[in-house]
Amino acid sequence: MAVLIVVENPKNWPLDLPDTEVVSARDYLTDTRFTGLKRAKVFNLCRSYSYQSVGYYVSLLAAARGHKPLPSVTTIQDLRQSALVRIVSEDLEEQLQRILAPIKASTFSISIYFGRNLAKRYDRLCQSLFGHFPAPFLRADFVKADQWRLQNLRPIATSDIPDSHREFVIEQARRFFARPRVSDPEQARYELAILVNPDEVDAPSDARAIRRFVRAARKLGMRTWIIGKQDYGRIAEFDALFIRETTYVDHHTYRFASRAAAEGLIVMDDPESIVRCTNKVYQAELFERNGIACPKTVIVHKDNTAEVAARLGFPCVLKRPDSSFSAGVEKARDQAELDRHLETLFRTSELVVAQEFVPSDYDWRIGVLDGQALYACKYHMARGDWRIQKFHDEKRRSYGKVETLPLEEAPSEVVELGVRAASLIGRGLYGVDIKQANGRMLVMEINDNPSIEADYEDAVLKDDLYDRIMRSFYDRLEQRGGPSTPAPAP
């Protein structure tokens, strides 16, 4: 893929960067060599991105051509919204106060070059701002009354960079352009980012599974990048995003999904699926309205706690609405335990999901992709526990046995129920948990971003499991066609 650095006058461009081409903004906008270029990353370093300026049109037409501009028009528009800048200031409030506390003056400005500042003590703040507003060169202005707040954030031109900063800017530009990648086929048609956290205890995919995803993508001609939380500002560079971290709404995984969707990437799982799957209050309502069999359920708030025992009896199960991997899930054996667990759960949520306790030796997990059943597993309960995962502490877990079966050997009614339930969420990648007990089939929950680990969920399909998921990305990218980033309305 071509990497273009677009400036008004290439003669004034001071940096010599490997594997890049410096072109004038006028040429990029009008030269047929660029209008017909199929794939390119465009680093727009024009002096101004104001509405209908040359810089604005570079990013706008890059999007229309299917190129990947930085900054994107979405970022340009965001930088013009003072209300959005204020919201970001509120999000970063704790970080702002801590980092800027030593400053005695009432105003302060910092320059941000590809997410970095000359003073390393400001790096984290700069990376956060670059993450929200990915533009190559930014200047942030802060003011202090009772406390610090971000007053203004604006892009700056290369002519605004002090001579004393030039060497540092060159270093950061080279660092930015030289990031490592996992696979690099000569003719990559698309670029896929896989979001992982190597330190996550309950990561949905282990390192071997990630390598198999990479290999499957390579076979389809997709270049793969392994990214982390710190790479939020680079989302617009890719064609697709595959989230392999446990997702939450109030979490960077949701921000990644939302930003990627806004930039026109194919995202799995998409932000809507994350919202729907990570909240069990939503799912309880969804199941009831659509006739999906599930355990008897009570949505508990502080004014109806007395109804739980009467309607469900003991033991019953209490779930934090955003619980995952059995964390935030408790069993109440009597009224005293019920009261104690509810008191704890109400500290973080206004609502709690209470369900009848349905004992079983295992839960079915039906993997569903694009509305089709993908795999079937039995997740057995952890030894000495009634859940599939036993929590010891923040670093240690124990799990029950995972038994993977060919789809045709799983009960057809279980598979069909899993597909039907997943269809209520969307057409992404889901894991539907079903209990089969006492002649009943009950959907326990639908998970976005389900576990796919080497030698477990892939035990039957082997490499074909990874191939099918990567093929889904490829097919969606092909079906989308046209520009990879939608051009917003002026």
User: pLDDT per position in the chain (490 positions), as tens?
Assistant: 788 999 999 987 777 777 889 999 999 999 999 988 888 889 999 988 888 889 999 999 998 888 889 998 888 888 887 776 777 777 788 888 999 999 999 999 999 999 999 999 999 899 888 888 889 999 999 999 888 988 889 898 887 889 899 889 988 888 887 655 555 545 678 999 999 999 998 899 999 999 999 999 999 999 999 999 888 888 888 999 999 999 998 888 998 999 899 888 999 999 999 999 988 889 999 999 999 999 999 999 999 999 999 999 999 999 888 766 556 789 999 999 999 999 999 998 898 999 999 999 999 999 999 999 999 999 999 888 888 877 656 666 778 899 999 999 999 999 999 999 999 999 999 999 999 988 899 999 999 999 999 999 999 999 999 999 999 999 999 998 644 444 333 3
Indicate the pairing of strand 68-70 with strand 40-44: parallel
| Cα-Cα-Cα-Cα dihedral sign, residues 456, 461, 467, 471 | negative
pLDDT of residue 126: 92
Task: Name the packing angle between helices 207-219 and 463-480 (round to 10°).
Answer: 50
Task: Read off φ and ψ for residue 305, nearest 5 degrees.
Answer: -60, -25
H-assigned helices in 65-138 = 73-79, 82-91, 93-100, 123-132
How far apart CA 434 and CA 251 sit, in angstroms, is 27
Residue from 143, 158, 79 nearest 111 by CA? 158
How far apart CA 305 and CA 395 sit, in angstroms, is 33
Q: Domains in the chain, start-ordered, CATH in brackets? A: 2-74 (3.40.250), 81-170 (3.30.470), 190-269+474-480 (3.40.50.20), 296-356 (3.30.1490.20)
Task: Measure Cα distances from 483 to 49, 259, 429, 487 in Å.
Answer: 20, 17, 24, 8
pLDDT tens column, 359-387: 999 999 999 999 999 999 999 998 888 88
The two three-digit tokens of residue 52, written as one number? 């209908």
How far apart CA 413 and CA 402 sit, in angstroms, is 20
370 prior amide bond cis, ω within 30:
no
Indicate the pairing of strand 429-437 with strand 440-448: antiparallel
pLDDT of residue 482: 46
